[in-house]
Amino acid sequence: MSRKLPTNSLNPAVHSHYYEGPAAEPVGDELWCYSNYLCYSPGEVIAFHVSTTASYYSLEIARDGLKYEVLFCKDNLPGKRQDTPADASAAGCGWPVCFEFKVPDEWRSGGYRVTCRIKTESGVKEQHHFFLLRSRAVNRNKRLLLVSSTGTWCAYNNWGGSNHYEGNTGPAGRDYSPILSIERPLPRGFVVLPKDAPRAALATPPHYDDPVTYPHMEWAYANDYSKKYASAGWASYESHFVKWAEAEGFEIDIVSQYDLQLHPEVIEGYPCITIVGHDEYWSWEMRDTIDSYVESGGNVARFAGNFMWQTRLENAGHNQICYKFRADKEDPLRDSQRITTMWEAPQVARPGALTFGLNSIRGLYVGWGGCAAFGAGGFPIYRPEHWAFEGTGLGYGDVLGAQSRIFGYEVDGLDYIIKNGLPFPAEGEQVPTGLEILGLGLASNREVARGVKSETLFLGDEDCEMHAQILYGEVTPETVALAGRGSGMIVSFMKGRGEVFHAGSVEWVAGLIRKDAQVERVTRNVLSRFMGGKN
């Protein structure tokens, strides 16, 4: 792993930019692998691209579900260290195809871990890649479809030096990249993690006079994992849901989020689509696919948070584009609705709540760093009579998921009013007709320093300032303060002939991991109803 540490870094785990990638000259044992796409169908050929300092490597493919099933192994594949361009994060690595594999027709839909291994002087070195396999099933009406948040995976992948947050691009080589390629390895921690890896949301509230800490980043830095492992990837989110759903008896198929744009027909016939974890980046076409699906009678269960950025896919889906904070000045399509900024921006004018009932601009951080660190940990419940809470024992004012800490580290919300003790969308919020707010907690876009200097905090005012500009048309101390206040919600609504349930929190899966009976019951209620069964 290469590291770049700014000389003024107070905590290199938090404030430095470090990433994986080959050194100019090999200084140790190197091994990396990627494939030409993120998702395949049975019968298709996967092209693997491998770079290693070893003369030979092995490659193993296993389905990573409730059971870990090794399905293919190949030893003594010839290894070679490939040339990697400096702009690999944006342009792709460009390595030649080293091994091709035709997916057997009988392989089931799911997530597949690819493990490459080489022998070293100290033992064996492993590197993990990952791909998704669609289903060829014709009869889908009893199967649940999981859409993996591959747009967010791509956005946080900093292999080679850049992602949509930090980078080695721009005039000074310190800018994030608005253009990212899928043709590069996944960073360490996106595919597999040890059980003791901290999650982004704090597992327990800190003491009131403790300094602000970021355990996941500190753990990542100490153990040579990606700084962003807790923000994206199979290992932190989708894998936990799949294991839980398969244990519950659900027959589950999986597709890439990119399929919603490139192959929208793959969702046809499924009674329910579910999305889990950190789900931040979507294209216009992806939203069109979901909107049409729900309008025509499909159901969506979104146990996920942070619906924020519009993206574009280019180069047949091999490149993801998102200019984010620089979109107004740099995006070539800045004068059109396809500008890659927040959905609520005036140029886009397609609020996220019109698809999923909630949006990130009215939500954001909870139980993370200095943001709402002493919050409830779960969703305070306002409408316990709703069918989703059947059998949970929850009443008005109870908190769902407090012990398992499901509320964080990024949440989605709305502006709202309280009337007679119940929350409603505020006047002017663009939401589907009939939307009900079932649960509501508070979020913050600004960190509290708790006795330490503010420059030690990870989060600056950039988010607040952009939210203030979009929501209020100007950036002033008053509008930044307004933009600093957010919420996280559970909502439910009908749309056309379909239905949507949205628990707007990245950390909902923590309730499944930690076997929170009430969170499990709500999840089961929603999926069973949407699959055509009873709660």
For 91-100, the pLDDT digits (tens) are 999 999 999 9
DSSP, collapsed to helix, strand or coil, labels residue 129 as strand
Phi, psi of 338 (to 5 degrees): -90, 10
By the 8 A CB rule, do 348 and 356 touch? no
Say whether pLDDT at 35 is over 60.
Answer: yes
Say whether pLDDT at 108 is over 50.
Answer: yes
Q: What is the pTM of this model?
A: 0.96
Mean pLDDT throughout 15-34? 90
| Domain ranges (residues) in the chain | 194-227+352-502+525-530
- Under the banding of pLDDT at 50, 70 and 90, the label for residue 25 is confident
By the 8 A CB rule, do 191 and 197 touch? no
Q: How does strand 31-35 pair with strand 39-40?
A: unpaired
User: pLDDT at position 315, please?
Assistant: 96
- The span from the CA of 281 to the CA of 364, in Å, is 14
Say whether pLDDT at 401 is over 90.
Answer: yes
- Under the banding of pLDDT at 50, 70 and 90, the label for residue 207 is confident
Mean pLDDT throughout 436-443? 98
Averaged confidence pLDDT in the chain: 94
Mean pLDDT throughout 359-379? 94
Say whether pLDDT at 8 is over 60.
Answer: no
Find the range with the poorest average confidence among 56-70, 132-146, 188-202, 247-261.
Answer: 132-146
User: pLDDT at position 7, please?
Assistant: 43
Mean pLDDT throughout 103-114? 97
Say whether pLDDT at 455 is over 70.
Answer: no
User: pLDDT at position 23, please?
Assistant: 84
User: pLDDT at position 5, please?
Assistant: 47
By the 8 A CB rule, do 411 and 465 touch? no
Mean pLDDT throughout 11-31? 88
Phi, psi of 409 (to 5 degrees): -75, -10
User: pLDDT at position 268, please?
Assistant: 95
Say whether pLDDT at 9 is over 60.
Answer: no
User: Tokens 């407090």, residue?
Assistant: 402
